[in-house]
Structure 1
Amino acid sequence: MGIFWFSCAACQKEEVDAPDEKEEIEVPETGDVTMYITTNTRSQDLNQQAADFSDKSNMSPTTIKLEPETQYQTMDGFGAALTGSSCYNLMQMTQKDRTAFLKQTFSDSEGMGHSYIRIAIGCSDFSLSEYTCCDTPGIENFGLTSEETEYVIPILKEILEINPNIKILGSPWTPPRWMKVNNLEDLEPYNSWTSGHLNPAYYADYATYFVKWIQAFEQQGIDIFSVTPQNEPLNRGNSASLFMGWQEQLDFVKNHLVPQFKEASFTTKIYLFDHNYNYDDMADQEDYPVKIYDAGIDEEVVVGAAYHNYGGNKSELLDIHNKYPNRELIFTETSIGTWNDGRNLEVRLIEDMREVALGTVNNWCKGVIVWNLMLDSERGPNREGGCQTCYGAVDIDKSNYSSLTRNSHYYIISHLASVVKPGAVRIGTSGFSDPGYYYSAFENTDGTYAFVLLNSNASSKLITIDDGNNHFSYEVPAKSVISYRWKK
């Protein structure tokens, strides 16, 4: 597989072991339609191109028609997690290189326009150490740590300078250890970063912990758009973790977190669950968020549920939507690594675009967030007990903290974010639907249409897109992704 390395200082590609032949493509500088194209061989690598509307009548049998009168969910955005490890790596770059990369990633005018970020409340399994923001017993001892003040917050501030409209989601991996017990029967202290339960005696203090954390970021000029009560609440084994079954989450959120959010006059949204499609095969936890909805919980603050894809099938999203169509869905984590050939774009671009990007959006997710934005070339920094086999959406060469290689997760998020802007509405389509083609259409708030198309087949095909007023055609390369945007 050909790999392209990117030198941020020059913002130009340096080919390493590149394909022998590049596609010779005549690229128009301007046109009615802006396109971004990536092939799984990197012969086109987020290449920006243009096409013009056709002035001929459309008789093409491979026409996809947009149906804007059919509307689905409103989009919040697309992005990746800014873990402590990601922020550490970013801070090792020169200011010039870092600014170039962040503009390329987050700028809506000069880059891909990534629009949603996930950060940890306290440590995650990709932090520089295990910690919370209140490790000394007593909620009055809350305070941000050096990981926030030296890495996460400075990077967030730089991103907000580039894109002030970025949405930020916060998720805790563990509460302070002094709030943990071994189980809800014995209620014995459980002084471990891994597993345990939240002691009901500290539900109020832990809700205050969330409030203090959000307020601490607000004081830094950083608004928190949304939170989840617990990352992977059914996973006891992560290096920082907590078991929180649906009944525990119901009690904590309904009786403590929501009231304290309201008292603080927060507009921050709460998304339940934040774990796998298959509920880790725990029968009593199946339909986790639905059980909480059924029990009755505030709809204005608790807006929906979040999902990961480490187990089960994306069809679960549609099932949850059908049971509670007024509740929101977001997708908050997926990883690539040594176990799934994570650096092989020939494999991962197709599968990740189909399952993660278009697969979640076409099953009602308002946002799509992948895991680490940036890891180094040794898959770190990482910790014992955490994932030591994960790759980043982008990997940075640890020998120089300058050369970057973009993996599938960077491409799939960029193909969505570059044309589908926050506030866009997913709309209906009809017409061409051959096997191997996957797509989704959107109407942006600025009067533009967006269309994202995956061709997973081994041959190219001329595809026509028709919005009812204008149509255009383009030869979609084999095993490629194309994002289109045009004015109505």
Structure 2
Amino acid sequence: MAYPARPFGQHRRSVPSPKRCVQQPFDSKRRGVPDVQRDLSHSARASLHSDWPRRVAAAIAATLVALGLLVPAAAPASQSSSQSSSGDPSNLLTGAEATFSGTTGGWVPLNNSSLSWVQTPSTLSTGSLDMSATSTAWVYGASPKVAATPGTRYTAQASLMTPSSASVAVALAFYDSSGKQINAVAGKSATPAASTWTTLPQAAAVAPSGTRTVALIVAAWTASVGQHFYIESPVLASPTPTVNVDLTNGNSNVLSAPFSQTTTSLGPVSSGTITLDPSKTFQSVDGFGANLTNSSAAVLMSLPSTTRNTVLSNLFDPTKAGISVIRLPMGANDFSANGCSASAQVCPSGNYTYDDPPAGAAANWTDPSLSNFNILPYDQNIVNILHSAQKINPNLTIIASPWTAPPWMKTNAPVTDPYASGSNGRLNPSYYGVYAQYFVKYVQAYAKEGINVNYVTPQNEPGVTTTTYPGMLFSSYQERSFVDNNLAPALTKAGLSTQILGYDWDWKSSSWTTSDVENVLSGAPSNVAGTAWHCYGGDPSTQSTVEASYNYPRWLNFITECSGVGIDSGYGITGSTTVDNFAYHLGLDSQKLIVGGLNNWASGVQLFNVAENQYYGPQNGGCNDCKPVVQVDTNTNAVSYTVDYYVLTEASSVLESGARIISTSSSNGLQAVAGLNPDNTTGLYVSNPSQTSATFTVNDGGEGFTYTIPSLSVASFRWSN
């Protein structure tokens, strides 16, 4: 097995031999809706979800303009030089303008401030600029003006220290030939710790038409009279931003083919095939991942330790696939290797729960005190894999879902297989309280192992009739009663922070309507945190239908399972739907899960099994061709990475945990989703399901680039703001 690291710059990912690598910095706040899936409730509520720091930054810019704060004529425009005296060749501020070597460097007070040079407390031998507040109103200081060109991108940054707390930011101010300020753009606000030097968030903007000069402004508000703001290392620059591009080409099923990794430049654009609107922000992204079933864990643990460590690194390392959300089955599901070899195709002994009758127990055995409860040895492999994964990515989000309660808690379960649901196998109402404690014990048992379970769902696919693998039926009214009267109170009483996600089934199911889903969710607001969804029927726009009633950020949406087999087609994707059709599943998973899911309020997307063996098993009576993220030949220990690996990697490379989805419109048959990452970069994920290549232009607030994406391919883009 060869998985050569393929780094692409300091922030980029390396991945196994197949198709992809990633990365570079990202901000944190935006949201997109593809043309075929636009949900009007998003735009209608966009203003409610704008992030506060950007609104403060906008207020700074608006105040600058309103106050008419112009750099006085006494501060003439300086010309850029090939090497600034600050030591930064890109800095348009030169000499003392950037170093304050014994002077104020030509900086001027604009509002409620006085400026002077000080040696202490600067970290530099040249000293720093002291901006002192003369009132409690907004306080500004500005650099000398520098010659600027319309349509050119400028950035501003500086370090600041103040003895007491205050909100501060840097801004860019643009002026016309008469010296009149025509625009001001502020970076995100910051509140530095007292007496601590802090690099303020960068401000970036394209100079508007009519611009002749630009200045860097340091702004503070909530200042007290006499408060000092020490400034050093100001940088006013005109960089050429680089866009990092990763491509997964679906035209080849040869997984050893390398990802295409290139760069392009960001520049002025007037329109776009794909248009981003960062002023409209939506939900935060929790992350991407898969289900760590009993079978998946058994297959991974069967590998030699060196090989297993490499696979886990490729899966969980944030610089690689970056899996950050894992779903666990609470007991057996349709992929359980309990009592079987990891090489088995079918495992007849796969069924188990955490409180089954001991050997020799009477037929009517029950355990209402749950004294027999134990997650081990059944989940030992799962625990071992999670411990290894946590060392690679300590910030995993864990969701747990049961396929069935212990058979002794059920009514009308099939006599031949009481773990299954049959036509009417349900939780006995007399055991609702006991089953709630079963959840509590599960969360506590995993916590004892050092694993925090963030969310639970009451039941996997509550309307599915199963005869060959574990299952249990819940009506919406039964689930709501169990959650409101038993599960939520039990978790709270136990002092657990674990939250509940309702439903956990398809966007469109055979027996639950959208009204049924909303019925489960309509109990006490504190009882249910959101909804879990599967992909096997319907369309992700259902997430927006439900979201319109409950409203982010109160409401979360997670796609908790999808294998791609049997999924509705549509989206114009053609070709064989078999599990080995790379191009088909690349397009379908990208559009329905990543683009469609995120553009309809999903905070996380999880595919089905993390790993399976060469027989798509070990199976416990369920799906016999559900594709995994990683497939292991247990005879040779050879490891292959399926299309699901590349879908996850493309997405996590440009939309990190904490990213905010932004408004995105697309045309020309392309599907796109974009977001702002916590590190102040923008990420864009584009799918082209067409049989022909497509050339498109991205417009991000007047800046952008043009790119040609091959047919049946996915490209991800990332650039600094």
What corresponds to 1:420 in structure 2?
655
What corresponds to 2:603 in structure 1?
366
Q: What is the alpha-carbon distance in structure 2 between the residues aligned to residue 451 and residue 243 of structure 1?
A: 40
Indicate the SS of the match to 1:152.
Answer: helix
Q: What is the alpha-carbon distance in structure 1 between the residues aligned to residue 295 and residue 654 of structure 2?
A: 29
1:32-431 matched pairs, under 5 angstroms: 32-42=242-252, 47=259, 49-55=261-267, 57-59=268-270, 62-109=272-319, 111-128=320-337, 129-136=350-357, 137-138=366-367, 139-149=370-380, 151-182=381-412, 192-195=418-421, 196-237=425-466, 239-282=469-512, 285-294=513-522, 296-297=523-524, 299-326=525-552, 327-337=555-565, 340-383=577-620, 385-404=621-640, 406-430=641-665
Q: What is the alpha-carbon distance in structure 2 between the residues aligned to residue 171 and residue 353 of structure 1?
A: 25
Letter in 1 for 2:356: D
Indicate the SS of the match to 2:631.
Answer: strand
When residues 440 and 120 of structure 1 are mapped into structure 2, their CA distance, relative to the original with a 3 A threshold, is: same
Shift of 1:448: 1.4
Indicate the SS of the match to 1:366.
Answer: strand
Which structure's residues are more often helix, by fraction? Answer: 1
Q: What is the alpha-carbon distance in structure 1 between the residues aligned to residue 503 and residue 17 of structure 2?
A: 42
> TM-score with structure 1 length normalisation?
0.87
Shift of 1:399: 2.1
Indicate the SS of the match to 2:378.
Answer: helix
- Of structures 1 and 2, the one with the larger relative CO (CA 8 A, separation 6+) is 1
Shift of 1:113: 1.0
Deviation per CA, 1:179-202: give whole Å up to 9, x if none. Answer: 11128xxxx999700111111111
What corresponds to 1:433 in structure 2?
667
Q: What is the alpha-carbon distance in structure 2 between the residues aligned to residue 428 and residue 97 of structure 1?
A: 42
Indicate the SS of the match to 2:615.
Answer: coil
Query: Would the aligned equivalents of 1:114 and 1:418 in 2 still touch at CA under 8 Å?
Result: no
Indicate the SS of the match to 1:79.
Answer: strand
Q: What is the alpha-carbon distance in structure 1 between the residues aligned to residue 719 and residue 4 of structure 2?
A: 32
Query: Would the aligned equivalents of 1:337 and 1:343 in 2 still touch at CA under 8 Å?
Result: no
When residues 163 and 48 of structure 1 are mapped into structure 2, their CA distance, relative to the original with a 3 A threshold, is: farther
Percent of aligned pairs with the same amino acid: 32
Deviation per CA, 1:193-216: give whole Å up to 9, x if none. Answer: 011111111111111111111111
How many residues are treated as equivalent by the alignment? 454
When residues 245 and 190 of structure 1 are mapped into structure 2, their CA distance, relative to the original with a 3 A threshold, is: farther
Deviation per CA, 1:278-306: give whole Å up to 9, x if none. Answer: 23145xx5432211233x22x23411111
Letter in 1 for 2:269: N
Query: Would the aligned equivalents of 1:133 and 1:143 in 2 still touch at CA under 8 Å?
Result: yes
Runs of 4+ in 1 over 6 A off after TM superposition: 9-15, 188-191
Indicate the SS of the match to 1:192.
Answer: coil
When residues 263 and 281 of structure 1 are mapped into structure 2, their CA distance, relative to the original with a 3 A threshold, is: closer
Shift of 1:479: 1.6
Letter in 1 for 2:375: L
Letter in 2 for 1:49: Q
Query: Would the aligned equivalents of 1:34 and 1:48 in 2 still touch at CA under 8 Å?
Result: no
> TM-score with structure 2 length normalisation?
0.60
What corresponds to 1:473 in structure 2?
706
Q: What is the alpha-carbon distance in structure 2 between the residues aligned to residue 398 and residue 189 of structure 1?
A: 35
Indicate the SS of the match to 1:108.
Answer: coil
When residues 181 and 417 of structure 1 are mapped into structure 2, their CA distance, relative to the original with a 3 A threshold, is: same
Quick check: 136-145 or 455-464, which moved more?
Answer: 455-464
Letter in 1 for 2:263: A
What corresponds to 2:715 in structure 1?
482
Shift of 1:106: 1.1
What corresponds to 1:27 in structure 2?
none
Query: Would the aligned equivalents of 2:534 and 2:560 in 1 still touch at CA under 8 Å?
Result: yes
Query: Would the aligned equivalents of 2:661 and 2:676 in 1 still touch at CA under 8 Å?
Result: yes
Q: What is the alpha-carbon distance in structure 1 between the residues aligned to residue 679 and residue 717 of structure 2?
A: 15
Shift of 1:368: 0.7
Query: Would the aligned equivalents of 1:375 and 1:396 in 2 still touch at CA under 8 Å?
Result: yes
When residues 469 and 80 of structure 1 are mapped into structure 2, their CA distance, relative to the original with a 3 A threshold, is: same
Q: What is the alpha-carbon distance in structure 1 between the residues aligned to residue 16 and residue 326 of structure 2?
A: 26
Q: What is the alpha-carbon distance in structure 1 between the residues aligned to residue 503 and residue 439 of structure 2?
A: 16
Deviation per CA, 1:190-248: give whole Å up to 9, x if none. Answer: 97001111111111111111111111111111111111110011012151000011111
TM-align CA RMSD? 2.6
What corresponds to 2:166 in structure 1?
none
Shift of 1:31: 7.7
Given the alignment, which residue of 454, 460, 473 partners 2:687? 454
Q: What is the alpha-carbon distance in structure 2 between the residues aligned to residue 367 and residue 222 of structure 1?
A: 19
Shift of 1:271: 0.6
Letter in 2 for 1:434: N
Shift of 1:9: 9.1
Letter in 2 for 1:131: Y
When residues 190 and 325 of structure 1 are mapped into structure 2, their CA distance, relative to the original with a 3 A threshold, is: farther
When residues 311 and 14 of structure 1 are mapped into structure 2, their CA distance, relative to the original with a 3 A threshold, is: closer
- Segments of 5+ residues of structure 1 without an aligned counterpart are 1-5, 16-21, 23-29
Query: Would the aligned equivalents of 2:246 and 2:717 in 1 still touch at CA under 8 Å?
Result: yes
Q: What is the alpha-carbon distance in structure 1 between the residues aligned to residue 17 and residue 649 of structure 2?
A: 20
Q: What is the alpha-carbon distance in structure 2 between the residues aligned to residue 156 and residue 82 of structure 1?
A: 9
Query: Would the aligned equivalents of 2:316 and 2:393 in 1 still touch at CA under 8 Å?
Result: yes
Q: What is the alpha-carbon distance in structure 1 between the residues aligned to residue 615 and residue 291 of structure 2?
A: 18
Query: Would the aligned equivalents of 2:404 and 2:471 in 1 still touch at CA under 8 Å?
Result: yes
Q: What is the alpha-carbon distance in structure 2 between the residues aligned to residue 412 and residue 269 of structure 1?
A: 28
When residues 293 and 301 of structure 1 are mapped into structure 2, their CA distance, relative to the original with a 3 A threshold, is: closer
What corresponds to 1:26 in structure 2?
none
Indicate the SS of the match to 1:318.
Answer: helix
Q: What is the alpha-carbon distance in structure 1 between the residues aligned to residue 242 and residue 709 of structure 2?
A: 17
